Amino acid sequence: MPGETAALPAPIADWFAAKGWAPRRHQLAMLDAARAGRDALLVAPTGAGKTLAGFLPSLVELIEAPVDTLHTLYVSPLKALAIDVQRNLLTPIEEMGVPIRVETRTGDTPSDRKARQRVKPPQILLTTPESLSLLLSYPDSAKLLGHLRTIVIDEVHAFATGKRGDLLGLCMARLTTLAPDMRRVALSATVADPDGYRGWLSSDGDIDAVALVEGEAGAEAEIAILLPQGRVPWSGHSGRYAAPQVMKQIEAHRTTLVFCNTRSLAELIFQDLWKENEQQLPIGIHHGSLSKEARRKVEGAMAEGRLRALVCTASLDLGVDWGDVDLVIQMGAPKGSSRLLQRIGRANHRLDEASRALLVPGNRFEYLEAQAALDAVDARELDPDIFRPGALDVLAQHIMGIACAGPFSEAALLAEVNRAAPYAALSAEVFGHVLHFIESGGYSLKAYDRFKRLTQDADGLWRVSHPRFLAQHRLNAGIIVEATMLNVRFRNGRSLGKVEEGFAAQLSTGDTFFFAGITCEVEKIDTEDLIVHASKKPARIPTYGGSRMPLSTSLADRVRGFLHDRSQWPRFPDDVRDWLEMQDRRSVLPRPGQLLVETFPREGRYYMVAYCFEGWNAQQSLGMLLTRRMETRGLQPIGFVASDYAVAVTSLKPVIDPVPLFSNDILQDEFVEWVQQSNLLKRAFREVAVIGGLVERQHPGKRKTGKQVTFSTDLIYDVLRRYEPDHLLLRAAWDDARARMTDVGRLANLLERAAGTMLHVDLERVSPLAVPVLVLIGRERVTHGGADDALLIEAEALAAEAMAD
Amino acid sequence: MVRFSFCGTELMALGQGALFWPARRALLVADLHFEKASWYARGGQMLPPYDSIATLADLTALVTACDATEVWCLGDSFHDRHGCERLPDRARDMLRALTGGTRWTWITGNHDAGFADHCGGTIVEEAEVDGLVLRHEADRHDPRPELSGHFHPRLYVTLRGRRIARRCFVASPSKLILPAFGALTGGLDAADPAIVRAAGRPAQALVPVADRLLRFPLAA
């Protein structure tokens, strides 16, 4: 029980009283942690007054013992969020009438204000991980940050486990060196494993040094599955068939958020809803490819309560608090219970009222998944987050930034880096490689001794060799590397947003596609712009942007449980139950932990379907590997299709015994070969080359026109692989390819137990369970060595045909 | 290796982006851009210092495979006029072995104009050989049959959702533009107006695959 230590200074106590509020228990607990000088992690649902809880100790300290130095840094993953919090923090400060100055510092802050902030700092500074990292690269940052008392990290669950989390971890280690008394505070949504975040936050790996404060749970969410006419379709994964029912829900609520799993899907659903929108209700669309102006406009309309519904993607998973939302609809499967809960949290930010949500499953597996998500939420079971070792490209960027701030000793910096949780296990040897990489590229061929970016003094300190490298670093620093994008705009210059170059390359004049809620017809494509006008022609869907979220392991386990546990079936709709019963009769329903593999012939071809439940990424990878292995064994595979639940391979010869196809050595042989030949590594390399500072970032608007571009990272990759395959950046690219792109961890687990748990059933015809997999779109064909050549030959024939007189 | 006829001369387009002239046993390459990586390294972008070695390894393999006795480099052989001085020892040895074993001619380009040290071979601005003009950048006003480089042409084809980019030759009735051969050299769309203007109409992109020479009309 917080006692008198938690007594609030008069301005704050009066402010609470004037509002008719009492400080919440977790807000006072955060204050207690501060007074005890402890680091703290606050885990609480949305709407629990988390932001104020994070700032309260700083306000108290600044009122009790005013300082005119920088007291508190607030770091948020979103620029817009920092601006929003400024509003939410500034208002109370103003109402309390206390002289506390709060300012923001992000990529959008004008440079003269940034310079002034370094000389005359506010007491509270709101920033992002990238801007903090840049701030640390200035020599005067030591003076500015030397008096820092607290760092508050918001939405820590959203980025601690990724590269931005690595960067922030390194920045915190630096801050602790500059200001040893600084407390670390993080605010998180409800997470499965708070200890993982305490470890990440701690300054020396000691979890117990970080106080865990848990907010009171909100009211139970009311979640239901929307089933139009009680029917679940066989195939599809978007829930588009339910557009009329979704529209009815929008009509019946004040404001509805309609979450979609991909940007393409958001565009489609938006079109579908407008077709049903007889009352012409104001409905908007929001996703990461739309222009900043378009997004700000929609956000503004939402904030003012002018929209009845907003179709959106993960771009709204974080962000501005809109209060008035009273329904969240999830189109397609939710993929994970944590994400679902966070999305539902967007509705109704008051703890004492239940949030309402509807799930619209796209097919029968997705129905099971939606049901599993509901049960998981009821059981308060969340998806675990995986903390992996820090990325080496991020470390390289950080070290260069530190070098920009002033000379450093190798041993001292290594010790500091080791205090950042993601780099706790980093060896002196690898650290030395990274240093060598920054210095002169890290090559065994000593070609660049004359061009070193870092040099070592007689006293052993490292320093930047030329001032131009400081400017270069500051221009190129950052963790987010976007694919090359083209602006989609009207002829009058109005910008609609961006599409990936790869998508634009497939378009030609007169083609149409859905974007920003309208059908766009291409007028002209040039180096940086895709000029379009609105059209009424039928349109195709861009496959731009946004990666696909794989099904979480905990939901997968629940779905597996449903297949086996008949006592669950009565609560399923008739067609789902019939489907499972038919599967039981025709084939087998696997026990949890059993790997069911079905083989059957159909229309002269042979199918093998493996129900792995390991998520889309891992199963896509498995499909690639299986077809490779089948090819070398003469089974003549034609193609495969992967879903979150299963992978199905088609071949001209039957698979008699699947066990050897799933053996673990596939990860040594076929996997390495495949990843090296595929574009995965090149894509990963492009990113690490920019983050690590090997090549300069392409700044939008500065791409060369007409003349060939300077060089491509694909060519660098080829040369490097040929002459220095163990190079640091290739290792970093491999790490990314393994973890993010192929989900190799889940794949390895699957293969590990495949032989022991496989249940092979040879059937005469397709099984009911296989249908939703086989009818999926997005099939992959097996490409043979000369596939590009074959396509070129075909393209030539087409061109000749078209040009014939 | 695919034979074709250009202005009455039998030539062979090689998949690696080089041209072989059987009657002279001559190998022609353009835009090697040796030491491009170290040029960027001076500015702080530490690209792998193996680009010259990679390009020379490929070139050595081709000279051997074709049994060429004559080599023509059509300009921009070095990324800048001091490129040769920066060659790593290993590359220098490879280059000396090549220039010592063949009749080797450097045609200067815009990148390497004025280069002095060149590890052997002869430097010329341009040449006329058996009725073909060899120069770095195509000259629209010269009606004679001409082989050149400079533009780094690359063909982009999209079919069934797959985009393929390939170094290519660009041919018109009297001009043939070679792709860039260097390991770190990027490319410019063969259909770019700058290339089509330089080649003259009608222009085609030529792509050797296995035993065929594919021809793609270029409209620009």
Q: What is the ipTM of this complex?
A: 0.91
- Among B128, B87, B89, B122, smallest CA distance to B108 is for B122
- Among A678, A680, A685, A688, smallest CA distance to A717 is for A685
Please determine, for residue A2, whether its predicted confidence score (pLDDT) is greater than 80.
no
**Chain position carrying tokens 């400024």:** A86
CB contact under 8 A, A695 and B47: yes
Amino acid at A338: S
The Cβ of residue A539 has, within 10 Å, a number of other Cβ atoms equal to 18
Amino acid at B38: S
A-chain residues within 8 Å CB-CB of B156? 505
Which of A200-209, A787-796, B108-117 is the least confident region?
A787-796
Q: How distant is the Cα of A693 from the closest Cα of chain B, in angstroms?
A: 7
Name the residue in chain B with its Cα closest to that of A729. Answer: B48
> Residues A618, A746, A287, CA angle at the centre, nearest 5°?
55
Span A454-479, average pLDDT = 91
Please determine, for residue A325, whether its predicted confidence score (pLDDT) is greater than 90.
no
Q: Any alpha helices (H) in B83-167, and if so which ranges?
A: 83-86, 89-101
Q: How far is CA B202 from CA A577, A630, B219, in A?
A: 66, 47, 8
Distance of CA A220 to the CA centre of its chain: 27
Distance of CA A750 to the CA centre of its chain: 24
Please determine whether the domains at A4-214 and A222-376 fall in the same fold group of CATH. Answer: yes
Going along chain B from its start, the domains and CATH numbers come out as 2-218 (3.60.21)
CB contact under 8 A, B40 and A711: yes
Instruction: State which of A411-420, A620-629, A701-710 shows the largest mean pLDDT.
Output: A411-420
For chain A, the domains span 4-214, 222-376, 392-476, 485-534, 587-678+738-787
pLDDT for res A220: 76
pLDDT for res A422: 95
How many Cβ pairs closer than 8 A exist between chain A and B?
Answer: 126
Q: How far is CA B61 from CA A602, A649, B27, B67, B161, in A?
A: 49, 41, 12, 10, 35
Span A508-521, average pLDDT = 77
Tell me the fold of A4-214. Rossmann fold (3.40.50)
Task: Indicate the angle between helix axes A50-64 and A10-19, nearest 10 degrees.
Answer: 140
Stronger pLDDT, A709 or A550, i.e. the higher one: A550
Per the CB < 8 A criterion, the answer to whether A400 and A693 are in contact is: yes
Residues 495-524 of A with CB under 8 A from B: 502, 505-506
Stronger pLDDT, A623 or A211, i.e. the higher one: A211
- The structure tokens listed for B132 are 């073909």
- Among A318, A308, A332, smallest CA distance to A257 is for A308
pLDDT for res A228: 75
End-to-end CA distance of chain B: 28
What's chain B's length in residues? 220
Smallest Cβ–Cβ distance between B49 and the set A445, A709, A792 belongs to A445
CB contact under 8 A, B166 and A788: yes
Per the CB < 8 A criterion, the answer to whether B16 and B58 are in contact is: yes
CB contact under 8 A, A448 and B164: no
- Predicted confidence (pLDDT) per residue in A330-365, tens digit: 998 888 888 888 788 766 655 566 778 999 988 888
Distance, CA of A143 to CA of A128 (rounded, Å)? 20
Which of A329-343, A730-744, B138-152 is the least confident region?
A730-744
- Predicted confidence (pLDDT) per residue in A255-281, tens digit: 999 998 888 788 888 988 988 989 999
B-chain residues within 8 Å CB-CB of A506? 158, 161, 163
B-chain residues within 8 Å CB-CB of A437? 46
Q: How distant is the Cα of B131 from the closest Cα of chain A, in angstroms?
A: 31
Q: Select from A264, A445, A509 the residue whose CB has the most chain B CBs within 10 Å, as the one to mutate to test that interface.
A: A445
B-chain residues within 8 Å CB-CB of A786? 210
- Predicted confidence (pLDDT) per residue in A562-584, tens digit: 999 999 999 999 889 999 999 99
pLDDT for res A1: 40
Confidence of residue A80 (pLDDT cuts 50, 70, 90): low
Smallest Cβ–Cβ distance between A799 and the set B161, B166, B216 belongs to B216
Per the CB < 8 A criterion, the answer to whether A513 and A541 are in contact is: yes
Span A190-208, average pLDDT = 90
CATH H superfamily, domain A222-376: P-loop containing nucleotide triphosphate hydrolases (3.40.50.300)
> Residues B199, B200, B203, CA angle at the centre, nearest 5°?
75
End-to-end CA distance of chain A: 90
Phi, psi of A503 (to 5 degrees): -70, -45
Distance, CA of B49 to CA of B83 (rounded, Å)? 12
User: Count of alpha carbons within 13 Å of A133, Cβ hemisphere only?
Assistant: 30
Which of A143-157, A518-532, B58-72 is the least confident region?
A518-532
Strand segments (E) across B9-109: 9-13, 19-21, 26-29, 70-73, 103-107
Q: Which residues pair with A514 in a beta bridge?
A: A519
- Predicted confidence (pLDDT) per residue in B21-68, tens digit: 999 999 999 999 999 999 999 989 999 999 999 999 999 999 999 999
Which of A172-181, A596-605, A668-677 is the least confident region?
A668-677
- Predicted confidence (pLDDT) per residue in B153-171, tens digit: 999 887 665 667 889 999 9
Span A641-649, average pLDDT = 88
- Among A722, A734, A716, A288, smallest CA distance to A516 is for A288
Distance of CA B91 to the CA centre of its chain: 19
Confidence of residue A546 (pLDDT cuts 50, 70, 90): very low
Please determine, for residue A800, whether its predicted confidence score (pLDDT) is greater than 60.
yes
Q: Select from A698, A703, A710, A716 the residue whose CB has the most chain B CBs within 10 Å, as the one to mutate to test that interface.
A: A716
CB contact under 8 A, B192 and A706: yes
Q: How distant is the Cα of A679 from the closest Cα of chain B, in angstroms?
A: 12
Smallest Cβ–Cβ distance between B41 and the set A448, A711, A795 belongs to A448
Q: Which residues pair with B205 in a beta bridge?
A: B170, B216
